[in-house]
Amino acid sequence: MPGENFLKYKDNFFKHYANLPLPVRREVILDLGEEKSGPITWEIAYREIKAETGLGEEILNKLVELKFIPLND
């Protein structure tokens, strides 16, 4: 079950993702380490966040923490 922050920031992620140029979506944005999942691109982040996986929640929280996702509170 996704946390409160995940659901709150999910829409902001999708709005931001929709405005990314297609080549940028293939760029690595995070590296969670080999033990987790390795390098994360915007495309991987999109799939994981859309599926509401635990990894997707971790990715989204990290993107918010790094201010990669603008928040519209």
Give the chain's mean pLDDT. Answer: 87
* Helices (H), ranges, 1-73: 4-18, 42-50, 54-65
- CB-side neighbour CA atoms (13 Å) of 2: 20
Tell which wins on pLDDT, 54 or 3: 54
Q: Is the Cβ–Cβ distance between 30 and 63 less than 8 Å?
A: yes
pLDDT tens, 2-36? 667 777 789 899 999 999 999 999 999 999 877 77
Give the pLDDT band (50/70/90) at residue 70: confident
pLDDT for the residue 40: 94
Domain ranges of the chain: 4-65
